[in-house]
Amino acid sequence: MPNQYETVFIMTPVLSDEQMKETVEKYQKFLKDNGAEIVYENNWGLRKLAYPIQKKSTGFYHLIEFKAEPTLIRDWEVTFKRDERILRFLTVALDKHSLAYNEKKRAKAKAEKEESVTEKT
């Protein structure tokens, strides 16, 4: 049975919008090609880093939550290590408490989004 994971990766800020999208698509394709199911994704955009990495003070953050076999994770992380566009990444296995928290957080965000749409009309 596949486990659920969450990966946040930071891409170098020198990428154009197009290059950033290509990088994200590369990792989405990697997951799909290896039988993983993407549950949720969120592009956090350009953010300031807590400390400089490779003399960069900002980076494009992206989160992917997915279900995959544990054997896939090693190859997944090797792919990040080989990509010069990636400054940092972190993959964590989600337990039942993390899953419940993420579901609650997404439901709240969805409700807030719907509320703001109704206010505009």
Q: What is the pLDDT of residue 113?
A: 81
Give percent of the chain above pLDDT 70.
98
pLDDT(121) > 90: no
Average pLDDT, the chain: 92
Tokens of 81: 């290590």
Comparing CA positions, the residue from 4, 118, 100, 8 lying closest to residue 63 is: 8
Confidence of residue 80 (pLDDT cuts 50, 70, 90): very high
The crossing angle, in degrees rounded to 10, of helices 72-82 and 17-33 is: 160
Domain 3-95 has CATH 1.10.3720.10: no
List the domain boundaries for the chain. Answer: 3-95
Q: Where do we find the tokens 């807030």?
A: 112
